[in-house]
Amino acid sequence: MTGPQRATERWGTALENALLVLLLGAMIVLATAQIVLRIGFDRGLIWADELLKILVLWVALVGSVATSRGRRHLRIDLLSHYLPERYARLPVLIVDGFAAIVCGFVAWHSARYVLLTVEFGDTVLVGVPAWLVQGVLPVAFALMAYRFGLYWLKGLLDLFRRGPMGPPP
């Protein structure tokens, strides 16, 4: 890995962590505050439930971006358990490329959708523009496309350098 690559890796991970800590922390605080209000004062914040659900959406997407680091998404994990690394190289290359393309498609079409909601002036919560909340969707899938694309590129270089069944690095 080159210097700039390592720097993006470090800063990217730090940013993911900061976001996850923030989102999860907000979720805990908001949810317990709601309970205290309900039990202690017999009332609740009208927007709190909606915000909590939005936080879940964000945690899901940011968490999924973080999961793509190190390829930790749920999958049918046959090859890595039963094939030696060198034989699994080609299949891994194929599925990384596939995942990058699919994520790219989802990012593209959800960006189109979000732009449409900007046009219509959709809002969520109390007058917050919807794109602020929904914008996470294209961004997250674009980041995953980028991540899988990087893995694919790395795999491809490896393949050229060592051949499809050459010795492990």
List residues near another protein by CB under 8 A.
16-18, 20-21, 24, 27-28, 31-32, 34-35, 52-57, 59-68, 71-82, 91-92, 94-95, 98-99, 102-103, 105-106, 109-110, 112-114, 116, 133-134, 137-138
Nearer to another protein, 6 or 38 (CB): 38
Nearer to another protein, 79 or 153 (CB): 79
48 contacts 34 by C-beta, under 8 angstroms? yes
List, as one string, the DSSP characters of 126-142.
TTEEHHHHHTHHHHHHH
List CB contacts of 19: < 8 A, sequence separation 6 or more.
58, 62
- In angstroms, give the least distance from the CB of 4 to another protein: 23
Nearer to another protein, 81 or 161 (CB): 81
Nearer to another protein, 2 or 41 (CB): 41
- In angstroms, give the least distance from the CB of 155 to another protein: 13
The dihedrals phi and psi of 167, each to the nearest 5 degrees, come to -65, 155
- In angstroms, give the least distance from the CB of 87 to another protein: 12
Report DSSP state, residue 101.
H
- In angstroms, give the least distance from the CB of 32 to another protein: 5
Measure the CA–CA gap between 13 and 52, rounded to whole angstroms.
24
129 contacts 54 by C-beta, under 8 angstroms? no
- In angstroms, give the least distance from the CB of 153 to another protein: 17
Q: Residue 34: which H helix or E strand, with range?
A: helix 3-41
SS3 content of the chain, % helix, strand, coil (to 5): 80, 0, 20
Nearer to another protein, 63 or 129 (CB): 63
